[in-house]
Every structure is written in structure tokens, then in C-alpha cells.
Amino acid sequence: MPPAIPLPETPAVVPAYASERGIDPDLLETARIRLELLYGEVAASWPGFIARPGQYEMMQACLLTFLSAKAPDDEDRPGNNLAQLEAGTGTGKTVAYCLATIVASEALKKTVIVSTATVALQEQLFQKDLPRLAEIIPELQYEILKGRARYVCESRLEGVINDEVQDSLLTGEFQDAFADARWQAKGIPRDRAEAMLWFKNTAKKLHSGSWDGDIDSLAQPPEPEDWRQVQANAHACNGGQCEYFRSCAFFKARRQAASATLQVANHALILATLQTDSTLIDPGNTLFVFDEAHHLPNIAADQFSYRAPGHQRQAAHQPAHRGASPWARAACIHPAGPGSLCPTHHRMH
């Protein structure tokens, strides 16, 4: 019997998250060396740090995803610019995707936006995780992106205080009746003295520079009724025509964020921005990480739906079309669980 002819080996299918297709070899080698260096510095510098296989695998997958960037007019889009990566608690997801995005940003000269599901997680990343990384990467520039309503409007704050001054010019029963009716209409507590004390103290902190105008940096959260009277509002904003434009907390934060390599945002802000003509985000020149991406569907439904009254009640969803740019890299990171949001789905162990 003649010897059996060996069958040709079937080449292993390389998953998209591990594909090096279309990536410049020299760029990839340089990026990997840089990533290994930073990962080694983290391991050596952070007390109690334990390198985990799943963390390392996620870090490498993120790097390949971002380095797969294509030009907007490139018709060859195999999908390896998108990755959904799952990992259990304790894997060290934040370190993995942060190091990978920092290296990719350096290599591609692009801005990174890390988006979290909530403002609380956003603050944790900005106040705790990134400062630790900045200790070993001194050149890292990072800032936080929040919605306009998280900042005070100096014009509205002064307006509330000036209204009180005008009220003091009135006398007797007419003063009380006029003031109570107006404050009730605005939904402000009847205890005007307590509210006005907060307004005036807040204005002093703002003018002295001891407060930056961000509601989240206040020692104590304000009464919701009080904050609604002075929060920044797009419909009431005069932009560059406002006398407080240069000192405006919202615009100061935006200017600072514009110069940062890594910006920390939240899902609601990203989705709301991408459906408008805002220049806050340039999707074609941005690397996106959506941490806890499993929250995206519900947040998107809240952002892009409309509930009609009566028998015509229905939801009208508007696609975030500006987010579909082939330049935009989206690495969706969330805890291990069912479901898939991105074409490339891999679970880290």
C-alpha cells in the first residue's frame, strides 16, 4: 500500500482582536516595546501589583485594535478596528486599556477618550487611576469632560443674588407677596435666607478661586432646587458675548480638555455630543474606549428616543452617525457577562 499523502495543514483562523493585518510592522514593534516598558514600570512601581495573564492579553488586544486605524476613505475595513473585551473582577482592566491607549495615542498622534457609564466612575478614573499612571508617565496629559449642567453659570449666579438685592428695595406686604410668588414659581424653597446664604458663599468661593465651578468638587452637594437656578444651560448661554465668558467654569474646563491627550468622559455625554454638530469630539481623530459598555444600549435609548402622547406613543431612535467613522477605534470594556456589542468579541481569562 502506498504511503498516505499528508493533507496540507489548515491555517489557524486568527481572531480579529489578534490580527496584525494592515498594521505597519515597524510601528507595531515600536509600540509593543513601549508598552512592555510601561507595563514593567507599573509592575515595579506599584506596591502589591500582580501581573495577570488576562490583563496582559487584554492590553495586547487593545493595542492591536487601535493600531488598526484606517483612513476615512479606505474601503478595506475588516472590522479589526472594533473589539469587545470581557474580563472578570480583579483582572485589572483599567491598567490594561489605559496603557494600550496611551501607547497607541503616542504612535498615531491621536486623542484618546475613555468613556465610563457614570460620573462617579469617571471621577474615580480621573482622581485615582490616571494620577497613579502619570507618576510613571510624566508626559501624560489628561482632563475630564462633563456635561454643561455639572458647572455653575456665573451669570445666572450673579442674577440670583442681584434679584435678592432688588427685592430688598421693596417694602411691606408687597415685598413678601412678590418674592414668595416668584420663588415658588421657580421651585425654590420657601426658606429664602438659607438659599441666599448658599448662593453668596458659593459666589465668594468662585471669585476667590477656591472653587472651580464644578458641582462634583463641592464639599457638600447643593440642594437640587438651588443648583437648578445657577447651573450652566445651553439655552441661556450667550457664549463669547457673555461678560463672564473668560472666567466661565464650563468653557475653562473645555479649553483645558482640548489640550489633553487623554480625556475622560461618560457614555451619556459622548452619545449626546455625537448626535449634534458639536466640535467637542472629532470622531475621525479619536481613539474610543467605552468602559462598562454593556450600559450603552440603555443610555442610547434614553438619549435618542422620544415618547409620543396617547395612541401615537412610540420611540423614535436617531443613530449616532458621526460615531461610525472608520478612523474611530472603539474598544468596549466591560465585566464578563452575556451579550455582544461589537463585531469582535473576546473574553479574557
**DSSP string for 53-99:** HHHHHHHHHHHHHHHT---TT-----STTEEEEEE-TTS-HHHHHHH
Residues 326-340: pLDDT tens digits?
A: 334 456 654 544 333
Q: Report the pLDDT averaged over residues 163-191.
A: 50
Residue 233 sits in the same domain as residue 211: yes
Residues 219-266: pLDDT tens digits?
A: 999 999 999 999 999 888 999 999 999 999 999 999 999 889 999 999
Residue 325 CA to residue 311 CA, distance in Å, equals 37
Residues 193-225: pLDDT tens digits?
A: 899 999 999 999 999 999 999 999 999 999 999
Residue 135 sits in the same domain as residue 266: yes
- Assess contact for 223 and 191: CB atoms under 8 A: no
Q: Report the pLDDT averaged over residues 184-196.
A: 66
Task: Give residue 302's pLDDT band: very low, low, confident or very high (50, 70, 90).
Answer: confident
Residue 296 CA to residue 51 CA, distance in Å, equals 29
Q: Report the pLDDT averaged over residues 69-88.
A: 75
- Which stretch, 10-19, 110-119, 156-165, 319-328, has highest mean pLDDT? 110-119
pLDDT value of residue 349: 61
Residue 317 maps to a domain = yes
Residue 123 sits in the same domain as residue 184: no
pLDDT value of residue 157: 96
Residue 230 sits in the same domain as residue 117: no
Task: Calculate the average pLDDT of the chain.
Answer: 80
291 - beta bridge partners?
A: 333
Give the CATH number for residue 107: 3.40.50.300
Q: Of the candidates 194, 218, 249, which is a domain's last residue?
A: 249
- Looking at per-residue pLDDT, the higher value among 161 and 309 belongs to 161
Whether the pLDDT of residue 316 is over 50: the answer is: no
Whether the pLDDT of residue 78 is over 50: the answer is: yes
Residue 3 maps to a domain = no
- Assess contact for 348 and 58: CB atoms under 8 A: yes
Residue with cell 491598567: 95
Residue 46 maps to a domain = yes
Residue 21 sits in the same domain as residue 137: yes
- Assess contact for 34 and 103: CB atoms under 8 A: yes
pLDDT value of residue 275: 78
What strands lie across the sheet with 345-348, from one edge to the other?
A: 142-144, 262-266, 111-116, 286-291, 329-335, 82-87, 345-348
- Assess contact for 226 and 188: CB atoms under 8 A: yes
For 130-148, letters b (16+ CB in 10 Å) and e give beebeebbeebebbbbbbb
- Looking at per-residue pLDDT, the higher value among 35 and 325 belongs to 35
| Total domains in the fold of the chain | 2
Q: Report the pLDDT averaged over residues 115-124.
A: 91
DSSP state of 116: E
85 - beta bridge partners?
A: 333, 346
Residue 183 sits in the same domain as residue 318: no
Phi then psi for 126, rounded to 5 degrees? -75, -40
Domain span at residue 230 reads 150-249
Residue 298 maps to a domain = yes
pLDDT value of residue 327: 38
Residue 226 sits in the same domain as residue 274: no
Helical segments of 93-153, H only = 93-108, 119-124, 130-136
pLDDT value of residue 174: 43
Percent of the chain with pLDDT over 70: 72
Residue 47 sits in the same domain as residue 26: yes
- Assess contact for 153 and 237: CB atoms under 8 A: yes
Length of the chain: 349
Q: Of the candidates 224, 249, 274, which is a domain's last residue?
A: 249
Q: Report the pLDDT averaged over residues 291-320.
A: 71
Residue 264 sits in the same domain as residue 245: no
Whether the pLDDT of residue 37 is over 90: the answer is: yes
Residue 127 maps to a domain = yes
Residue 7 maps to a domain = no
Which residue type occupies 304?
A: F
pLDDT value of residue 88: 83
Residue 10 maps to a domain = no
Residue 11 maps to a domain = no
Task: Give residue 22's pLDDT band: very low, low, confident or very high (50, 70, 90).
Answer: confident
Whether the pLDDT of residue 294 is over 60: the answer is: yes
Q: Is 235 exposed, middle or buried (0-12, 13-18, 19+ CB in 10 A)?
A: exposed
- Assess contact for 206 and 213: CB atoms under 8 A: yes
Residue 158 sits in the same domain as residue 222: yes
Coil, helix or strand for 286?
Answer: strand
Which residue type occupies 233?
A: N
Residue 128 sits in the same domain as residue 24: yes
Return the CA Rg of the chain: 25
Which residue type occupies 179?
A: A
Residue 164 sits in the same domain as residue 64: no
Q: Of the candidates 223, 249, 275, which is a domain's last residue?
A: 249
